[in-house]
Structure 1
Amino acid sequence: MPPKRDEDLWTSDPFYPSPWMNPEADGWEDAYKQAKKFVSQLTLLEKVNVTTGVGWENGPCVGNTGSVPRLGFKGFCNQDSPQGIRFADYVSAFTSGQLTAATFDRSLMYSRGRAMAQEHKAKGITMQLGPVAGPLGRAPEGGRIWEGFAADPVLTGIAMAETIRGMQDTGIIASAKHYIGNEQEHFRQLGEASGYGFDISATLSSNIDDRTLHELYLWPFADAVRAGVGSVLCSYTQVNNSYGCQNSKIINNLLKGELGFQGFLVSDWAGQHSGVSSALAGLDMSMPGDTAFNTGLSFWGANLTVAVLNGTVPEWRIDDMAMRIMAAYFKVGNTIEDQPDVNFNSWSPDTDGYAYFYGKEGYGQINWHVDVRDDHAEVIRDIAAKGTVLLKNDGALPLKSPKFVAVVGEDAGHNPLGPNGCADRGCDMGTLAMGWGSGTSNFPYLVTPDTAIQAQVVADGGRYESIFNNYDSNAIQALVSQPGATCIVFGNSDSGEGYISVDGNEGDRNNLTLWQNADNVIANVSSWCNNTIVVLHTVGPVLVTDWYEHPNVSAIIWAGLPGQESGNSLVDILYGKQNPAGRSPFTWAEKREDYGTDVMYEPNNGNGAPQQTFTEGVYIDYRHFDQAGIQPIFEFGYGLSYTTFKYSAIKVSKKQVGEYKPTTGLTIQAPTLNNFSTNLNDYKFPAAFRYIFSYIYPYVNTTTSLKAASGDPQYGSNKFIPEHSLDGSPQPLIRASDKTSPGGNRLLYDVMYEVSATITNTGDLAGDEVPQLYVDLGGDNPPRQLRDFARINILPGESKTFQGVITRRDLSNWDVVTQDWVISSEPKKVYVGSSSRKLPLSAVLN
């Protein structure tokens, strides 16, 4: 809720108890039964083992839970990243989420998710840490917006759902992240901030009002839950001054209560800040298990065992934690009997090494170098080409066997250190095909634009030269000034996760200009060459104001972060092997200030938690530009083709649907699956075990007394236990939730209108068109909001019908008083067109 006065801090209302699983939840019924059968056999120690990571670098994966050897369960292997497998060999480097969203193609979103998960599965991984809906893209400079999809909740939500289905259809658990309001890298972690010279006592607080939270940032997570996602990962940042991994409002109330999420909530790595508090607030799995990397200390582990024994964490809560984890495991088709072994090691590329890397124990084979790539290069190449956005074309493209091609720009060539020469891709040398941070994978190879274009020119019998030094203007001028030159100039802009700083960019970008002096190179080349084609590899929007209208700039292409097939996918577009149909997943502004939002680069609360208040509400990206009447250079959803299309004959069909009814009733009582021993001697470290240094165990530190094991002078007191948090009695259902359907009240997804339009290819080439459906809800709402889209292949002269739908949710606003979705009485209108500002068709919704 907002503060009473400007000087007050925003607060997050408490919500307890933490909701327990619903045995009748749609799509989870069988998984619930399997999980109940398994968890009912577990001892308290084994339940704690399942919920607690074993510690950083003490297992093969970036996150490993304890196991249950007695029942043959090997534990979870949780692995980055949302763009491929991090820290492994013979894996693929996939196209970014952002460029995938630019395809506006549901089937490609699914295919990418499936291909990535197939590789994870073949390496023995249990859960892939992705896809990403946070950051959504509030600030264009945000360091990790390329890991996500788009600065729009609907496009992101659809991409999340399709990616999750693709992943989980392979038997890999998807973990939707970073929940929620995680929109910048600055001040997300204390140690990180301290390393950059900032003295703060708590991480940044994203202060978000109730309506904005629901209509913008929670929206794609609702789609993820509705798609059956097995896990959600909570973020480092605070939301309204409560840490994301122990914020009972956003976890218990919104995620598990209102959305009916049945899977498990896992902490971001070292994002857990408490033991009992986080358990009661709804955290289900602690990663990587230690309080800070390699400390050997844990908020859970032995402390969680003691917390259950002394009653500060109720038995039903630990049961529900284990149930949620195992239900997600079974839901995607896994069994205990067929659980594969992990065949790689995150901490060493060597064939032999330590199984417990930090503890230096268990020497033997740790890597089997299994090639899991299959035919995924084709998937990557196709998605990268179909996501590429043609921003400008004065007839220069597609290329038709030009006699002389001059390529200029560092971004066209190789990194002299190799494609994996910088840890976690933490540099900007050579062509940019992936941002930096934990959301990366190793390149098995990287086809540069220079390599691919040269091969095509040579095959055509042409002449080819390239220059990668962006500061040798004399050499560049000498090359591009030659008669008949087709000049292709490259530029990029990079960003990533906050623990890496590149050229002074601490995760988030410092500005929206191109890197490597590319703006000057483009300006120079376009002044010397009358046929200049610009190719941009960027993590988001950049400022093109100074040169995009130059008459010699004959074409501009945004190729995003294409992954390993970068050059090949670009050649497919440049030479017309694929007709471009990508659409920009963000707005391109004339100047930085036009966005109305920005990264907070300096703390604003003394040495307390920096306060970042989302004063813009729902008005980000194109919603803001439209509301403020600001003309962008290229709008959201914009993209050109090598052919032309005509829109006509919009038709709106109203569907007969029932009245919206809030959910009422009670949940079941919290189930407890068995009684646990209260004899402390049953919880001591087994004499037969070998202690692994820094490994997190569930065993108590002493068996002299429970009070001594608790190590707390307040032992036996519930003074600090939130009200209702121990209550396992039936609880009232939240009115915006559903009795059995995850994702919120099922009536929200009733189709209220069907909208159709005729799309005709009026050009000479076959091509894909991307019709987009927007609504105007009237009143205090953005003038236009995306609600549906399609990607349709149309032959020359052919007409096809676009069919979109508008659901009750699409027409609703969040009412902060009733705490439910309502359709206002304001007049409403629907638009269909090729971008957020090219909407030739419209109709009133009656």
Structure 2
Amino acid sequence: MRWHALATLTLLQWATATPSSPSEGLLKKDGVSLGSWQEAYAKASSFVSKLNNSQKLSLITGNNVNNTGGTFEALTFEDGSQGVEYYYYVSAFSQASALAMTWDKDAFYAQAKAVATEHYLKGVHIVNGPTSQPLGRTVWSGRLGETFSPDPYLNGIAFGVSVKAYTDTGVVAGGKHFLLNEQETNRLSASTGGSGGSTSSAAPYSSNADDKALHELYLWPFYDAVKNGMGAVMCAMNEVNNTLSCENSELLLKRLKTELGYPGMVYPDVDAQSTAKGSAINGLDYGSSRIWSDSAVNELLSNGTLTQARLNDMAIRNLMGYYYVHLDNGTHPSVADRDAFVDVRANHSRLIRANGGKSVILLKNTDNALPLKRPHTMSVFGSHARAAIAGPNVEFTVQGSGPTYNGHLATGTGSGEGSMSYLIDPHAALTRKASEDGTMIRWILNDTYSSSATGLPSGIGDAGTFISASYSAYAEYSDVCLVFLNALAGEGADRTELYNDDQDTMVSTVASSCNNTVVIINTVGARLVDQWIENENVTAVLYSSLLGQESGNSIVDILYGDTNPSGRLTYTLAKNESDYPVGICETKQCNFTEGVYIDYRYFDAYNITPRYPFGHGLSYTTFSYSSLSVSSSTLSFLSTYPTGSLSVGGYTDLWDTVTTISATITNTGSVSGAEVAQLYLTYPSSAKQPIKQLRGFERIDLSPGEQKTVSFSLRRRDISYWDVAAQKWAVARGTYIVRVGTSSRDLKLVGSFVV
């Protein structure tokens, strides 16, 4: 049986009586238009209509369901965005934080599609990803390697494009974590007191944010994901404003399922479901059979706490994403055993290598120290240049929060870990390149080294011991010195440092004897460089996040100029740890008093000079900017608030293009390269917004002397702010200033339009 009527969502009607009223947020045929989700709704409703309550409960607790129409096999979930976790014969892709550094929408899509394809071919239905949050409220957060950027616009574009790629491939995107889980500390339980007398609480920390910050920062990327077909959302472990995320009607019913028009299922992070009643009536759709037992759910139904309509709604939402991505078409493979030879890698290694190169940021390049040109002698320093002692795959697991990793760090920890079939580390890739060029290569592949010997090794010492050289000795006799650094953090623990004394001492020691010292950094989040960045012998710095199985090749491609660096910072690199506004919250109540002022918004507001600004990155060529144009300089047709219909992704006119900004970019150098043009918007003062906000970016490839026009389409939502009193996105009247340039602090062209 198929339903051909127009499928829609009901508007959320907030109960004025008891909070146990469960009718909010139900999928119905009135209110919010489902649009392209209509067929999925019809199929899901038809299937659920044939189930009894026991079968519906089996469905929403992850079990097989048998009915007259056949057997529905339980949905299979798997981490993650870096590849199919803990499986053999899969690819280990770069982390989301590295991918975002490409600022390349095509790269976002290509990698997400490859990741989704490998999950699909392994028989997975729902990927626990992509990951928008933690957004990056604090640079100390342990899981920033898994996510895109603290800028909500950049985060939203990458998040939305990734969701679209998953959906196009035929797997359900399980976007996470909803919402405000900005740290790992106290995510399961929190201290309730201060220093000297704290007590333990059974509940996790509570992220307490105001309505403006909630919308303009943290909820913003989920609009993009819902609009692009996200069929599952993972609610987080933490509380939001003192209510568990997975039992939070304000978040799940009012914001996600109504304001954003989200039609899919909400499922919990590990142990994030707490009570049968609270989770059922406040928006959770998939959960534990231990909590949602037959007896517990039947009792809720019998006493009227849980309505039949809400139980039906939960079952339907569990199927919406499944039908939307056409997992019912009979082509989806059966779930493979983790060690079965089901090889899903195809040519993904080439994509990983290319995207890795696009992710690398050239922070500094004095006197064109890079690219390298067949150096006679090269010395390599640091454990990050070599492979770990065992691995890869099952033996090769990246655990803990570091703070550094003893080996080449190319994937993350916890749900941010990729399963490697192999790993190309920099030492291996450099050795191959040296053999081609005739370069003599030396190495000390450790971050600490006690030898103080002078001169180069001269042979074998007493009793057959090797006479080893020191950092300084190898450095002194080299044309170029490559120093490799990393910073590790991940699920379960937050960061303990933003720089490392041993590594920084190594850099300074090498640079004291080598006037051409190049530093290469791979890090899960901000890694400060001020301990040595102004040393004149540190001639170049490459910086990125974790690049996956082809990491060494990607780095060497940049070092030798086979790939021209085009990566850009997705966050601000400060001069000092104290320049960042927010640390880790150690108590139960975590108050987001900074509001919307995180990362470059904060640095701008308080006139703090960064070491390297948001959006920064150099190239082996140069670019010029000219001819800024605004398609509509006066927007007289815009209402203050949206007037479109409510649909999947919010009000339809939030997505309308209201004006287009264009500029001409020219490659003024001698080699081909890619530029990332960035657009920043300043609102009228009445909107009470940060000084400027990213509202567009385009990566373009240019040959020497070539010029191209880039265009930035501003949507209504891009010029809107959250009106707390009206509870709507509003457009302020007045003059908007647009600036186009190469970073948040290097804006070369200025224009304006008036609303």
What TM-score comes out, normalization by structure 2 length? 0.90
Amino acid at match of 1:84: G
Give the 5 Å matches for 1:458-477.
458-474=435-451, 475-477=469-471
Question: Structure 1 residues 34 and 657 mapped into 2: Cα distance closer, same or farther (>3 Å)?
Answer: farther
Amino acid at match of 1:149: F
Name the counterpart of 1:402: 375
Distance 1:193 1:520 in 2: 39
Conserved? CA contact 2:37–2:324, under 8 Å: yes
1:644 aligns with 2:622: yes
Cα distance, 1:375 vs structure 2: 1.0
- Range 480-489 or range 569-578, more displaced: 480-489
SS at match of 1:93: coil
Distance 1:102 1:530 in 2: 29
Distance 2:704 2:441 in 1: 34
Cα distance, 1:277 vs structure 2: 1.5
SS at match of 1:556: strand
Name the counterpart of 2:697: 789
1:164 aligns with 2:163: yes
Cα distance, 1:234 vs structure 2: 0.3
Distance 1:827 1:207 in 2: 33
Name the counterpart of 1:208: 209
SS at match of 1:190: coil
SS at match of 2:490: coil
Distance 1:568 1:304 in 2: 55
Cα distance, 1:309 vs structure 2: 4.3
Distance 1:344 1:300 in 2: 29
Match for 2:340 among 346, 368, 372? 368
Cα distance, 1:303 vs structure 2: 2.3
Distance 2:167 2:135 in 1: 22
Question: Structure 1 residues 813 and 108 mapped into 2: Cα distance closer, same or farther (>3 Å)?
Answer: same
Per-residue CA deviation, residues 65-87 of structure 1 (Å, 9 max, x unaligned), is 44437622111001111211112
Identity %: 40
Name the counterpart of 1:84: 83
Name the counterpart of 1:594: 579
Conserved? CA contact 1:181–1:217, under 8 Å: yes
Conserved? CA contact 1:393–1:554, under 8 Å: yes
SS at match of 2:746: coil
Distance 2:332 2:396 in 1: 34
Conserved? CA contact 1:21–1:320, under 8 Å: yes
Distance 1:765 1:68 in 2: 63
Conserved? CA contact 2:380–2:481, under 8 Å: yes
Distance 1:639 1:177 in 2: 29
1:447 aligns with 2:424: yes
Conserved? CA contact 2:275–2:291, under 8 Å: no
Question: Structure 1 residues 424 and 487 mapped into 2: Cα distance closer, same or farther (>3 Å)?
Answer: closer
SS at match of 1:28: helix
1:756 aligns with 2:662: yes
1:821 aligns with 2:701: no
Distance 2:752 2:641 in 1: 27
Cα distance, 1:412 vs structure 2: 0.6
Higher percent of residues as strand: 2
Conserved? CA contact 2:448–2:503, under 8 Å: no
Cα distance, 1:822 vs structure 2: 1.2
Amino acid at match of 1:234: C
1:431 aligns with 2:408: yes
Amino acid at match of 2:490: G
Distance 1:15 1:632 in 2: 51
Give the 5 Å matches for 1:369-384.
369-384=341-356
Name the counterpart of 1:52: 61
**Runs of 5+ unmatched residues, structure 1:** 1-12, 54-64, 291-296, 346-366, 499-506, 604-609, 664-734
Question: Structure 1 residues 623 and 559 mapped into 2: Cα distance closer, same or farther (>3 Å)?
Answer: same
Per-residue CA deviation, residues 561-592 of structure 1 (Å, 9 max, x unaligned), is 00111101111111111111000011000111
SS at match of 2:246: coil
SS at match of 2:427: helix
Cα distance, 1:301 vs structure 2: 5.1
Cα distance, 1:329 vs structure 2: 0.2
1:251 aligns with 2:237: no
Cα distance, 1:595 vs structure 2: 1.1
SS at match of 1:639: coil
1:21 aligns with 2:50: no
Cα RMSD, aligned residues only: 2.1
1:31 aligns with 2:40: yes
Conserved? CA contact 1:14–1:248, under 8 Å: no
Distance 2:445 2:208 in 1: 44
Question: Structure 1 residues 191 and 254 mapped into 2: Cα distance closer, same or farther (>3 Å)?
Answer: closer
Distance 1:745 1:266 in 2: 25
Conserved? CA contact 2:557–2:563, under 8 Å: yes
Question: Structure 1 residues 542 and 14 mapped into 2: Cα distance closer, same or farther (>3 Å)?
Answer: farther
Amino acid at match of 2:721: N
Cα distance, 1:649 vs structure 2: 0.8
Amino acid at match of 1:247: N
Cα distance, 1:383 vs structure 2: 0.9
Distance 2:191 2:398 in 1: 16
Distance 2:23 2:117 in 1: 37
Amino acid at match of 1:741: S
Cα distance, 1:224 vs structure 2: 0.5
Name the counterpart of 1:322: 315
Name the counterpart of 2:457: none
Cα distance, 1:797 vs structure 2: 0.7
Per-residue CA deviation, residues 719-778 of structure 1 (Å, 9 max, x unaligned), is xxxxxxxxxxxxxxxx9xx64521111112221211000101000011100000110114
Distance 1:91 1:832 in 2: 40
Amino acid at match of 2:650: G
Name the counterpart of 1:68: 66
Cα distance, 1:300 vs structure 2: 4.3
Conserved? CA contact 2:518–2:540, under 8 Å: yes
Give the 5 Å matches for 1:454-603.
454-474=431-451, 475-498=469-492, 507-514=493-500, 517-600=502-585, 602-603=586-587
1:618 aligns with 2:596: yes
Distance 1:558 1:281 in 2: 44
Cα distance, 1:657 vs structure 2: 7.6
- Range 303-312 or range 154-163, more displaced: 303-312
Conserved? CA contact 2:23–2:309, under 8 Å: no
Conserved? CA contact 1:657–1:750, under 8 Å: no
Distance 1:579 1:408 in 2: 24
Question: Structure 1 residues 14 and 817 mapped into 2: Cα distance closer, same or farther (>3 Å)?
Answer: farther
Name the counterpart of 1:800: 708
Question: Structure 1 residues 544 and 662 mapped into 2: Cα distance closer, same or farther (>3 Å)?
Answer: closer
SS at match of 1:840: strand
1:809 aligns with 2:722: no
**Runs of 5+ unmatched residues, structure 2:** 1-18, 452-468
Question: Structure 1 residues 485 and 317 mapped into 2: Cα distance closer, same or farther (>3 Å)?
Answer: same
Match for 2:649 among 727, 735, 743? 743
Cα distance, 1:422 vs structure 2: 5.2
Give the 5 Å matches for 1:197-346.
199-286=200-287, 289=288, 297-300=290-293, 302-335=295-328, 337-345=330-338
1:660 aligns with 2:568: no
Conserved? CA contact 1:85–1:440, under 8 Å: no
Distance 1:253 1:111 in 2: 34
Name the counterpart of 1:358: none
Match for 1:839 among 744, 747, 752? 747
Amino acid at match of 1:593: S
SS at match of 1:117: helix
Distance 2:333 2:449 in 1: 54
Cα distance, 1:826 vs structure 2: 4.7
1:632 aligns with 2:610: yes
Question: Structure 1 residues 146 and 782 mapped into 2: Cα distance closer, same or farther (>3 Å)?
Answer: same
Name the counterpart of 1:682: none
Conserved? CA contact 1:15–1:249, under 8 Å: no
Distance 2:156 2:173 in 1: 14
Cα distance, 1:320 vs structure 2: 0.9
Distance 1:479 1:306 in 2: 77
Question: Structure 1 residues 100 and 22 mapped into 2: Cα distance closer, same or farther (>3 Å)?
Answer: farther
Question: Structure 1 residues 392 and 193 mapped into 2: Cα distance closer, same or farther (>3 Å)?
Answer: farther
Question: Structure 1 residues 14 and 822 mapped into 2: Cα distance closer, same or farther (>3 Å)?
Answer: farther
SS at match of 1:406: strand
Amino acid at match of 1:743: G
